Amino acid sequence: MVKAMVNLSEYENRVLNIIKAKFGFRNKSEAIEWIIQKYESEFLEPELRPEFVAKMRKREKEPIVHVKDFRKHFGLEERV
């Protein structure tokens, strides 16, 4: 495990304490870990599963179907 010294402003420290209390974390380290995981899931691009990549590679070799009227072809009603 990596240890890091972090400099926080008074406001950032208060926010961290609120998160710690709200989610019942035992210490600020757990609160920081939660924030990082939350950031990762919302802002970083997730890696695609190998099965999905293989499936898409197979699909890109399939023939292309040309559709003149998308709504009619897929049986969709027209919205007014």
Decide if 57 contacts 65 (C-beta within 8 A). Answer: no
What are the CA-CA distances from residue 2 to residues 5, 49, 68 (Å)? 10, 28, 58
In the chain, where the domains are located? 10-73
pLDDT tens, per residue, the chain with 80 residues:
889 999 999 999 999 999 999 999 999 999 999 999 998 877 877 788 889 999 999 999 999 888 898 888 888 887 76
pLDDT at 5: 92
Q: What is the pLDDT of residue 80?
A: 63
Neighbours of 31 (CB within 10 A): 20
CA-CA distance, 43 to 30, in Å (whole number)? 20
Yes or no: say if 40 and 34 are a contact pair by the CB < 8 Å rule: no
Residue owning tokens 């406001």: 11
- pLDDT at 9 (0 to 100): 97
State residue 42's pLDDT score.
78
